Structure 1
């Protein structure tokens, strides 16, 4: 897929999850292949929700073009929390939320406890969520509930794990097509 047209009208901001996205991850591949902007956080090991939200605001305000947010895992929770508090949500054209985790589960690592409670308000922009039927970090029913609460269209990826490098997505052209559809989506009024 030719992505040069995507970058003329919008910026694509990649929002990795806890511990970042490694070399084989589709987000890392997209940054290298398509020139999308990876939002780097100061601390990938002990992520602080407020710090991550402030960093997203900084990156979003660094360019006048609207943005499409492409979040994986904890990055999805970042989008929900940021949208609940930021005054700059109008700069977002849409969001692709991939493998949102349930940070309220009892077995979540202590590094993620400050991401509780999860923000579940309706997002003020178009959103598509891609969920797996066997994601080890979120039960499918819980993921479906998050999609409803966020007002996100749910795409079932089938049994693909956490939709990361281990899922074998490679350059993930299906995900890229979802990004393109968000670039061209009509705006949502809050």
Structure 2
């Protein structure tokens, strides 16, 4: 799969991804990448975030790989459960990093509008990368979400929420998961060709 033929669509989580965040680094590094820009990063509303993701996907004339973090992962799952077939077909796959369990005890009130999390399988290949030390989702919960979404799942050790606070600014090692996803997409395309 040639990377320049793909539109990489960055889907940040709650509060967005600041310039030091790995998603911002990836957006600067990956050719032909863009970001879903929400109108309110601090007080997210599920229907608004889904609508903005849908608009961003629909605007692309190229096949898309979604690169989501935290609440962005949950947004992708909700969007995929209700998007039109035409829009869904634009997405070739999704990298879902450190999904936020918005149903967990102690979840910030600002995120509760996203509960319950969609349990519907994603209609495109996906790879979920979680952590065994993430306050936003336990390893078991990340595995459960991966099973619900039919995602390949990897649990990393001791990496926290895979964000700036846990020391993941460039997260260049994360590109290996993107390449792994792209290989899965290419294998699936060969099977259906």
Any conservation in 2 of the 1:68–1:182 contact (CA below 8 Å)? Answer: no
Q: Whole-Å Cα distance in 2 between the matches of residues 148 and 63 of structure 1?
A: 29
Q: Which runs of 5+ in 2 are unaligned?
A: none
In the alignment, does 2:67 pair up with 1:43? no
Q: Which runs of 5+ in 1 are unaligned?
A: none
Equivalence for 1:139: 138
Equivalence for 2:66: 69
Equivalence for 2:116: 117
Secondary structure of the corresponding residue to residue 89 of structure 2? helix
What's the offset of the Cα at 1:85? 0.2
Equivalence for 2:81: 84
Equivalence for 1:100: 99
Structure 1 runs (4+) greater than 6 angstroms displaced: none
In the alignment, does 2:10 pair up with 1:11? no
What's the offset of the Cα at 1:135? 0.2
Q: Whole-Å Cα distance in 2 between the matches of residues 112 and 172 of structure 1?
A: 25
Any conservation in 1 of the 2:65–2:92 contact (CA below 8 Å)? Answer: yes
Instruction: Please give the per-residue CA displacement for 1:125-160, whole angstroms capped at 9, x wherever unaligned.
Output: 000000010101111111111111111111122110
Any conservation in 2 of the 1:10–1:183 contact (CA below 8 Å)? Answer: no
Q: Whole-Å Cα distance in 1 between the matches of residues 172 and 29 of structure 2?
A: 12
Q: Whole-Å Cα distance in 1 between the matches of residues 110 and 170 of structure 2?
A: 29
Secondary structure of the corresponding residue to residue 64 of structure 1? coil
Equivalence for 1:25: 21
Equivalence for 1:154: 153
Q: Whole-Å Cα distance in 2 between the matches of residues 158 and 106 of structure 1?
A: 22
What's the offset of the Cα at 1:166? 2.1
Equivalence for 1:173: 172
What's the offset of the Cα at 1:32? 2.1
Secondary structure of the corresponding residue to residue 80 of structure 1? helix
Aligned length: 185
TM-score (norm 1): 0.91
Any conservation in 1 of the 2:8–2:30 contact (CA below 8 Å)? Answer: no
Q: Whole-Å Cα distance in 1 between the matches of residues 165 and 151 of structure 2?
A: 25
What's the offset of the Cα at 1:167? 2.3
Secondary structure of the corresponding residue to residue 61 of structure 1? helix
